[in-house]
Amino acid sequence: MSFILNIETATKNCSVSIAKNGETIICKEIAEEGYSHAEKLHVFIEEVIEEAKISVQDLAAIAVSQGPGSYTGLRIGVSAAKGLCFALNIPLIAVDTLQTLASQANVSEGKIIPMLDARRMEVYSEIFNADLQVEREILAEVIDENSFKDFTEKIYFVGDCADKCKAVLTKDNFVFLEEIKYPSANAMSKISYSKYQKSDTVDVAYFEPYYLKDFMMTTSKK
């Protein structure tokens, strides 16, 4: 019996779940414009453990969303996950944020393209087939009317970019699953358990989130 704590903070959605053998027992999450991760994350962790009627000592591993996504959100999630792994001496599992997002699309054919907003018309995207196998690695790309034009099969878009991308991605085979907006710790459960069974873990001391783009800071010219 393996209990895994899943932490997803790469987007506006602050999400935490407890899974038993790959099945979610309890999930707590909230998506807010103000990014309340710093205030909510540890509260959610305490609540899901209590509601699952286990203790932290029962955890076999911690899984964390590795990015791409919000710089601050990723730092908060990874810092919490590392702290728990160090304290409990248990393994850390890194889960592809876009795979978690894509896994929420229940389709049997075509391609799934999860996209997360990277400001203006730029997105973080990846391409999966209906079996969630990667067909194109993660990119930060600018979306225009020529994006994905060579695909003839159904393309299912998920993520928080529908509002800005629907105006330019207008081919008949393009479908926006607008109800699937953010990655969730609920959807991490099967992925993290599969990785745990294969001992697919990362070094707790040296693991860093996958930011994809460098964090940019500007200084005053005065």
Q: What is the C-alpha to C-alpha distance for residues 183 and 64, in angstroms, rounded to an integer?
A: 12
Starting at the edge strand found earlier in the chain, the sheet holding 122-129 runs 134-142, 122-129, 111-117, 155-159, 174-176
pLDDT at 221: 39
118 C-beta neighbours (distance < 10 Å), count: 19
Give the largest Cα separation in the chain, rounded. 60
pLDDT at 218: 37
Question: pLDDT for 170-185, tens place per residue?
Answer: 999 999 999 999 999 9
**CA 84 to mean position of chain CA atoms:** 19
**Could you tell me whether strands 134-142 and 92-95 are parallel, antiparallel, or unpaired per DSSP bridges?**
unpaired
Provide the token pair at 180.
Answer: 């699937």
* Helix intervals (H) in 52-184: 71-88, 97-102, 162-165
Are 101 and 158 spatial neighbours (Cβ–Cβ below 8 Å)? yes
Provide the token pair at 9.
Answer: 């903070």
Q: How many CA atoms lie within 13 A of 15 on its CB side?
A: 24
Question: pLDDT for 31-90, tens place per residue?
Answer: 987 778 999 999 999 999 999 999 999 999 999 999 999 999 999 999 999 999 999 999
pLDDT at 56: 97
Provide the token pair at 20.
Answer: 């038993």
Whose structure tokens read 């609540």? 47
Residue 215: is its pLDDT beyond 80? no
Of the candidates 40, 41, 28, 34, the one whose C-alpha atom is nearest the C-alpha of residue 12 is: 34
**What is the pTM (predicted TM-score) of this model?**
0.93
